[in-house]
Structures are given as C-alpha cells and as structure tokens.
Amino acid sequence: MSAKLQTLRQNLEENLGGRVRSLVLDRGELTLQLAAADYLEVMQFLRDEPDFGFDQLIDLCGVDYAEHAGGASQHGRFAVVIHLLSTVQNTRLRIKLFIEDCDDLPRIASLCKIWPSADWYEREAFDLLGIVFVGHEDLRRILTDYDFSGHPLRKDFPVCGHVEMRYDPEQARVVYEPVSIIPRNNVPRVVREAAYGDQPDV
C-alpha cells in the first residue's frame, strides 16, 4: 500500500468513525462503504474538508445484485457506486452504498447539489436500473425512449422483450411493434479447402 493511500485510509477511519461500514483496499484502490443514513453528510464532508478535498465526482453508477452469488446481497439488491477525485491531494476514492429495504423502487438522495456533475449519471442510473434520486430536479430517462417500459440493466429484465421500436417516417414518430426476431442458429459455417488436414505422403 502506498503512503498516500495509507494516510487516506487512516484519515477516513479517524474522521468518520462508526459511519464506516467497511474500508477495503484492493488492487491499489480504496473502497468506502457507507449506510444510507450517513450518505449525504459524509459526501459533503469529503468535499469540504481540506484533508480530503474531493472536489470532483468522476463517475456514478447503479448495480443490481439480484443474481450475485445465488441471490441478492445481504445488504440489499441495489447499490450505488461513486468515484471521487481530489485534484488537490491527488487521491481517488470509491464510495459504495447499498439501498436497503427498497423493493422495486430503490430511493437514495441526489448528489447534484454537492457535485453538479452527478446530474446525468443519476439520470442514467434511474433510466437503466430504476434508482430514484430524491432531490434531483430533472430526473427523467436519458438513454431509452420516454415511453419505454422497464429498466434494461435490471437482472430480471427480459433479454428478448416483447416489443421493438422504430422510426416511422409516415407518422413522423417512434412506433412500437411486436418483436420480429426470427430464431436462428448463429454457429458460423466453416469453409475449408478440399484437402485441408490431409497428411502428405511420406
């Protein structure tokens, strides 16, 4: 472990105390797991405290653990993972937060007021996994169509689906139709020369 990561780990343990659910160093990256109740307060602290100074949110995504190790994680089905960067300290930190007791509507506070760059990342997690970010001022789909039903990155989302969409130039809009996929064998046909593999005469 580098001296910088060791210092960051010690500072997190000393400043956050019991709010740290776990603090794991793996492959040169530090991952801090928090409880939902401490989420916003800790994130604000990590940004504003000079010893940390995580001034940039680099990435935010959702994770569905429904089929992880034979079932949902012991902490819950859905999680949010955030990657932070401190340009002052030149350190990175991964935050992991499980959304407990969420059923089909996982809800967690939005980070847009702390890091405005979270805006489209939260919209993507909402669109693809159905995670609702409370306090987000424009939470709507960003990758799928507005009339799209379901959340494509959930583990229980049908692989094939029942409808497909296309643009209809006559109606000048997107239309939905029953899926027209014809099941077929996708094994490629192998073509070889006539004498391929024959042993030469000795």
Q: Is residue 72 part of a domain?
A: yes
Q: Is residue 23 part of a domain?
A: yes
Q: Is residue 181 part of a domain?
A: no
Helix (H), strand (E) at residue 45: helix 39-48
Q: Is residue 147 part of a domain?
A: no
How far apart CA 26 and CA 6 sit, in angstroms, is: 13
Q: Is residue 7 part of a domain?
A: yes
Q: Is residue 152 part of a domain?
A: no
Q: Is residue 191 part of a domain?
A: no
Domain count, the chain: 1
How far apart CA 40 and CA 33 sit, in angstroms, is: 13
Q: What tokens appear for 57 in the block?
A: 């949110």
CATH number at residue 124: 3.30.460.80
Confidence (pLDDT) at 122: 97
Whole-model pTM: value is 0.77
pLDDT in tens, the chain (202 residues): 688 888 899 999 999 988 999 998 888 889 999 988 899 999 999 999 998 999 999 999 999 988 766 555 567 889 999 999 999 999 999 999 999 877 678 999 999 999 999 999 999 999 999 999 999 999 999 998 877 888 999 888 877 767 778 889 999 998 888 877 666 666 666 666 666 666 666 5
How far apart CA 124 and CA 83 sit, in angstroms, is: 15
Q: Is residue 180 part of a domain?
A: no
Please report, in angstroms and rounded to a whole number, the separation of the first and last CA atoms in the chain.
Answer: 62
For residue 60, what are the domain limits? 3-141
Confidence (pLDDT) at 183: 62
